[in-house]
Structure 1
Amino acid sequence: MAFNLFGGKRRITKGFFANSLGNKQTRGIYTFQIDVENGELIFKKYFVTPTDPWYAFNYGRFSCVTYRNRTGSVDDGGICSYAATAETLALASRVTDKGKTYIHACANGDVETANKVFCVDYFNSEISVISIEKKKLLKCISHFKLNGNGKDPIKQAQPYPTYVGFLPDENKLYVVCLGLDQVCFFDVSEDGTLTLDNVHTLQLEPGCGPKKMIFNQKGNRAYVMNELNSTICVYKYDHLNFELIQTIDSYPKEDDPELVNSLSDIKLNSDDSHLYAINKGHDSLVLFEVNEDGTLTYIDFEDTSYDPVDMLVYNEEGNEWIVVACQKGGIVESYRFGKEKGGQVYETEYCCMVNEPICLTPFVNNF
């Protein structure tokens, strides 16, 4: 427990920032604290950005932010890295890659070891590799163009890559392709060249539209969230071998069979005992219990504001909090996970207004 200089109890907080698409007056990056003892959200600062900040991730003490190209110019869009300390984001480097808009990205290590950043361009169905030199983004060194289409003639007219990451037990890059109903795997050469591994492509149900794949901490279970049919697929995983063991709805569909919904995000909690899902359309935060074999059991849901699109999970001081960004609702709000009755999610009534929040990212250092 922390105390201030006058003997009173001092707040224990964690920092995060929210990317806002907004409009010319409001778009940018908003920084917040969350009180990890009661879930209160505290607005701190607002940073103006040149265009729409889309996605953000951390590697070491740097935060990378991708930007949407609003003008069509080759100087728009791209990705920036920032030195992130306290409440400050200081621009360190930028690569535009001829105006590409990246909706997801990751590095191949931490601040000391990373020498490449991998980005997916949803709109052009490309994967870009950007080199890092002296801890700064240097230039784009390779591209890989995906081809093909899926069952839905509109939503799957192109490959539409949505998520990129590394396998937990293999030095392979994986890319989730919403338009192909696939997770594709790539070997990465030292010079950044990507080679598609056709042998191990993970094929999902036609029309499901996978958007994201995550692994548990042991690396032996994979969870694929399918945006278009609002399901979660659970796989046993071992060295590029995926065995499907469950497909479960991301919300109770029987309550409203005609509802149009898309699954926005999934996250495991700190000890992999529960999984959270947010739904856009159903506008809900759903709680699942993770069983001993990795399968999921639906528990309950809480209503959110309109169009939840991203979330963060904090487990501090014995409390677990879920922070949800609701794009259409224009709000960032917090929820509490409690162990009562086998696990429940509760509203905290703490929220902050942000115009079109789209991505939440923890600060590298606490405020």
Structure 2
Amino acid sequence: MHLPTLLLTLVAAVTGASAGSPQQQQSNSQPILFAATYTRDEGWINGTGKGIYTYKLDTTDGSLTPWGVTPLGINPMYVQGTTKAFNSGERVIYAINAVSDESTEHPGSQTGFVSALTLNDDGTLELLNTLETHGGSPTHISLSPDEDFVVISNYGGSLTMFPLNADGSLANETFHQEFPKGSKVVMDQQATGHIHSTTWFPNSKHVVAANLGSDELLQYKLDEKKQTLKSLKTVNRPPGSGPRHMALHPDGNIAYVVDEISNTVGVYKIDKKAALLSKTALQKITTLPDDFTNSSTSADIHLSSNGKFLYTSNRGHDSIAMFKINENDGTLTSLGFESSRGNAPRGFTIYGNWLIVANQNSNDMYVFEVNSKTGLLEYTGNSLAQSTLRSRTVRTQMPSPTRMRELSDSKRDQVVVSLLQCSVDGVPRRGAIKEVTAKFRVDRRTISMVWKKAKAEEARSGQLRADYSGNARGRPMLDLSEKLEKLRITPGG
């Protein structure tokens, strides 16, 4: 799939945001935007979304055209996509399910889920696989600069990293770290650690995690050989700040951190040689008007396409704060505020001169034009309401994680047999996994569950023989676990 894409996380029917790195627009094509949603009542938000929504953006006037919606279990509320094509020639989209279910891999602990999906030419999504995030309430996804690793921020207080397979699917977790301690300055949000996002420095192996619960920016270096993250220096934000997201200036010298609780932006110099943040901030500036006294929390942050302006969103003040960037030192000067036209702008994304904001509580999106000279925003008149988002449903073969766990034993065996029957010498022919996925409405994670079940039975009985007479070519069936070994299927893969 070669269309340029935008990635926007929408949370009730619509909401907050994650901007990806869109490809350069091609002739005779339109950028496509993916909007992720909450799908159930969480108490603090009544999610009414149906999955991941797809839109086309008209770059001549900023209008959005609904394209489809793909169900993906409960609360698929954040998406991130690749800019490169994998060995299949397809780009891959990653999505998280913001839940805190009991882990099947680590009983007694909570987990969400992360899925890898391919983007078809018609805008639909096709599931590659789904894995546990090994932390509750995942909230953010980031890709390493070479797009060989995915890092998941679990708001429940942990970081998890997954290598990517040659086809873009998720391999087993290779790094996981818990953050139980919070700063306890604002007890209802900082009693424990809450990892909200990670940001990779371009063309480097360094990544920064924003710990909203501890008021810390945690710096790491990727060890590709060991497939792990090495902890480096930690940078402290002012107590009670609640760092949420980070944006980097395109010249690589400056980082901007938006603080959810204190409604501020911290400006940091980057040591490009060491790929580390300065210990102290160059500047701290408010995201709200001086005379505003009501409750509000900062949410998202992005730079303009030309790198001259910075924008943040305010939930409560319901606005986009606009800043001019000093070209000499990177510090900020307020340009004022533009109404988001809705309630609680959790997130937004920027493509060229278009800024698209998603309002969580009013379930709508609005499109603004960015003045490349002044940095000011002008409403284009283009918007989408909740009812518009349901204009078309795309039928997909995509089960939710819950349905996968409830698969019957007989159907699990049928899935494996079908895969083996379209294999040659124990190796699935090209397209076999896709055919089995469509036939049984399951994904590769189901195969890993069968593998673990077979191994458990084998451990109890000492020997497990498949009770099938032969495969499609008339050869004797091997021991089931041996066949799965030949297929290179491992738990969680």
TM-score, normalised by the number of residues in structure 2: 0.64
**Please, which of 65, 83, 88 is the counterpart of residue 124 of structure 2?**
88
Q: 1:300 offset after TM fit, Å? A: 2.2
The 3-state SS of whatever aligns with 1:137 is coil
Structure 2 residue ranges without an equivalent (≥5): 1-26, 41-46, 85-90, 106-110, 390-493
Q: Which residue of 1 aligns with 2:463?
A: none
Contact 1:312 1:323 in 2 (8 A): yes
Q: Which residue of 2 aligns with 1:251?
A: 288
**Please, which of 224, 227, 230 is the counterpart of residue 257 of structure 2?**
224
Q: Would you tell me which structure has more strand in proportion to its own residues?
A: 1
Q: 1:51 offset after TM fit, Å? A: 1.3
Q: 1:25 offset after TM fit, Å? A: 6.7
Q: 1:169 offset after TM fit, Å? A: 6.5
Of the structure 1 ranges 132-141 and 40-49, higher mean CA displacement relative to structure 2 is found in 132-141
Of the structure 1 ranges 284-293 and 261-270, higher mean CA displacement relative to structure 2 is found in 284-293
Q: 1:41 offset after TM fit, Å? A: 1.4
The 3-state SS of whatever aligns with 2:193 is coil
Give the number of aligned pairs: 334
Of the structure 1 ranges 65-74 and 44-53, higher mean CA displacement relative to structure 2 is found in 65-74
Q: Which has the larger radius of gyration?
A: 2
Q: Which residue of 2 aligns with 1:165?
A: 199
Q: 1:27 offset after TM fit, Å? A: 2.3
Equivalent-residue separation in structure 2 for 1:170 and 1:11 (angstroms) = 34
Contact 1:93 1:138 in 2 (8 A): no
Q: Deviations over 1:127-165 (max 9, x none)?
A: 112122223212222311123211112211111011112
Does 2:83 align with 1:47? no
Does 2:161 align with 1:129? yes
Equivalent-residue separation in structure 1 for 2:336 and 2:29 (angstroms) = 29
Of the structure 1 ranges 12-21 and 177-186, higher mean CA displacement relative to structure 2 is found in 12-21
Does 2:331 align with 1:288? no
Equivalent-residue separation in structure 1 for 2:363 and 2:143 (angstroms) = 30
Does 2:178 align with 1:145? yes
The 3-state SS of whatever aligns with 2:241 is coil
Contact 2:306 2:372 in 1 (8 A): no
Q: 1:91 offset after TM fit, Å? A: 0.9
Following superposition of structure 1 onto structure 2, how do residues 319-338 of structure 1 map, counting pairs within 5 Å?
Answer: 320-338=353-371
Does 2:350 align with 1:313? yes
TM-score, normalised by the number of residues in structure 1: 0.84
Does 2:384 align with 1:352? yes
Does 2:153 align with 1:101? no
Structure 1 residue ranges without an equivalent (≥5): 1-9, 358-367
One-letter amino acid matched to 1:287: M
One-letter amino acid matched to 1:47: T
The 3-state SS of whatever aligns with 2:73 is coil
One-letter amino acid matched to 1:211: R
Question: Relative contact order, CA 8 A, sep 6+: which one is greater?
Answer: 1
Q: 1:289 offset after TM fit, Å? A: 1.1
Change (3 A) 1:348 1:160: same
Equivalent-residue separation in structure 2 for 1:88 and 1:169 (angstroms) = 31
Equivalent-residue separation in structure 2 for 1:158 and 1:70 (angstroms) = 16
Q: Deviations over 1:239-260 (max 9, x none)?
A: 32415221111121x2322x11
The 3-state SS of whatever aligns with 1:155 is helix
Q: Deviations over 1:228-280 (max 9, x none)?
A: 0100011121132415221111121x2322x1111010100111111111110
Equivalent-residue separation in structure 2 for 1:251 and 1:179 (angstroms) = 22
Q: 1:42 offset after TM fit, Å? A: 1.1
Q: Which residue of 1 aligns with 2:426?
A: none
Question: RMSD of the TM alignment (CA)?
Answer: 2.3
Q: Would you tell me which structure has more helix in proportion to its own residues?
A: 2
The 3-state SS of whatever aligns with 1:328 is coil
